[in-house]
Structure formats: structure tokens, C-alpha cells
A and B are shown apart, each in its own frame.
Chain A
Amino acid sequence: MSPYLFGYLGAAILILSGLSLTRKNPVHAVLYMIVMFFHLAVLYLGLGAEFLAAVQIIVYAGAILVLFLFVIMILNIKEEMEGERFSGAWPFGISLASGLLLLFIIITGNVTPGQQGTCTPAVIAAQTNTKLMGTLLYTQYIFPFEVASLILLVAVVGAIVLAKKRLR
């Protein structure tokens, strides 16, 4: 990935997420967030993660943010947009976030990468990223995969139970 492309994508991701989280209208925030996720997917493509780039667009932009839009439509958006958009404790929030940012930058200043794995670019070019990920997912990580599917099932049932009207 060329540094110019990284610079554009990084700046766009930061600016779009900042814009998104400071909008008053939640619909505008979700739309900015969708554009941000597309930029992130391009960044994943540049890192050689084609499958995750597709999942990012299909699951995040296609499913999760559409769920947000549905819920915003259910809630009363006129009342949502009245009043202050930031809570009274915003100086605390901004100082905590900037302090944590400083701490993380100091910590990650001298990261030494660990042991190199076996999936070198030559292996990935021979077998493709998706096939290698599938092999890993269905052999070494089969138990976490099943747990993830159980979590999704519980989420489906739980969301219906929580959101349905009480029967009287």
C-alpha cells in the first residue's frame, strides 16, 4: 500500500468518524459511519484481507447500520434532536480520551513484532486468503466458531424477547 493511499484513507476515516459522532441528527451520523466503513474496507483490501473487507461491507454497512436506521425510525427522532447533544461531563470525556491517546502512543512507540507466522504472501497467493481463513476457522478454531454461532442465536432470541410488546 502506498503511503499516499494510506494517508488519504487514514485522514478520511478519522474525519468521517469524528463528523459522525458529533452530528445532532442520528440518521446523518449513521450515513457518515457507512462511508467510514467503506474506507475501512478499502484499508483491509490493502492489507490483503479480502474476505474481511467483504464481511465489513456486508455485515457492518449492510446489516448493523441498517439495524441502527430501523431503530432510529422507531424512536421519535424529533424529540431526540431537542436539547443538548453533549452531556454535562464533556470536559471529563475529552480529557480522558486525550490522556488515553497520549498513553497509548507512548506505549506503542516501541512495539517489537513477535514471531512470524507461516502464511507468507507466497502461500496466500497460492491458496487465496479466503481458503486459508476457512481452513483455519474449521480446523483450529472450530470451537470458538460454534460459540460465535451460539452467541448469534442467543442474540436473535434475546432481541425478539426484549423488544416485543408484553402480552396482557
Chain B
Amino acid sequence: MVPLQWFIWLSVALFMVGVFGFLTRRSIIMMFLSIEVMLNAVNLSLVSFAHFLNDLRGEVLALFVIAVAASEAAIGLAILIALFRNRETAQIDEVKELKG
């Protein structure tokens, strides 16, 4: 049997891969993909807690996280399309009008 600790460590490592991608990539599409990785890491920890605590509420919460992730991706990509139409760029460091 695999202990709960291993699942938490895997979830932490996956979350950190997402944090690294979010902070370092220039492309906004890749930043959104990093957010998806982070949300999946959280889902993994929720599902493993639900399994090891014999409580299905963790899985219900993971379902809500998936719903929020879907709407976040739709809104974020629509904003990206609007930005690309106005600025012809999807690189995060070329959008700097508010720089003081």
C-alpha cells in the first residue's frame, strides 16, 4: 500500500512545477497551462485525502475545482484573444502600458 504522504509529496512537486512555469514563461498561453497544472496538483491532494479519510467530500470539492478551472480557462483565453486583437502580442513582458 502506498501511504498518504507519497501522494501529498507528488502533489507538492506537481504544484511547484506549475509555479515555476507560471513565473518563468513569457507566453500567456503557457502561463494558463501552468495554472491548469497547479489546479490539478490541488485536485490530486483533495482526491487522495478523500480516499485515505474515507470521506467523499474531498472528491466533491475536486469537482467544483474542475468547474472553476473550466470557466477560468474560457474567460482567460477570451481576454487573451481580446489582447491579441488590440496589441498583436501574447507575450507578457510586452504589455507594459501601466509601467511607471
Q: Chain A interface (Cβ within 8 Å of chain B)? A: 1-3, 6, 10, 13-14, 17-18, 20-22, 26, 29-30, 33, 36-37, 40, 43-44, 47-49, 51-52, 55-56, 59-60, 63-64, 67-68, 71-72, 74-76, 79-80, 83-90, 92-94, 96-98, 100-101, 104-105, 108, 111, 113-121, 129, 132-133, 136-137, 141, 144, 148, 151-152, 154-156, 158-163, 165
B30 vs chain A, min Cβ distance (A): 6
CB closest chain-B residue, reference A58 = B66
Which of chain B's residues 41-90 have a Cβ closer than 8 Å to chain A? Answer: 43-44, 47-57, 59-60, 62-64, 66-75, 77-82, 84-85, 88-90
Counting contact residues on chain B (CB < 8 A from A), the size range is 35 or more
User: CA of A152 to CA of B69 in the docked complex: distance in angstroms?
Assistant: 10
Looking across the interface, which residue of chain B has its beta carbon closest to that of A23?
Answer: B30
- Interface of chain A, main secondary structure: helix
* 9 smallest beta-carbon distances between A and B, as pairs: A117-B55, A93-B23, A155-B71, A21-B21, A162-B78, A93-B24, A97-B20, A159-B78, A163-B78
Q: Select one of A26, A33, A117 contacting B54, CB under 8 A.
A: A117
Interface centre among B18, B77, B81 (most CB of A within 10 A): B77
Main secondary structure of the interface of B (DSSP, over half): helix
A47 to B4, alpha carbons, bound, how many Å? 11
Closest to B71 in A: A155
Q: Interface residues, chain B, CB within 8 Å of chain A?
A: 1-2, 4-10, 12-27, 29-30, 32-34, 36-37, 40, 43-44, 47-57, 59-60, 62-64, 66-75, 77-82, 84-85, 88-93
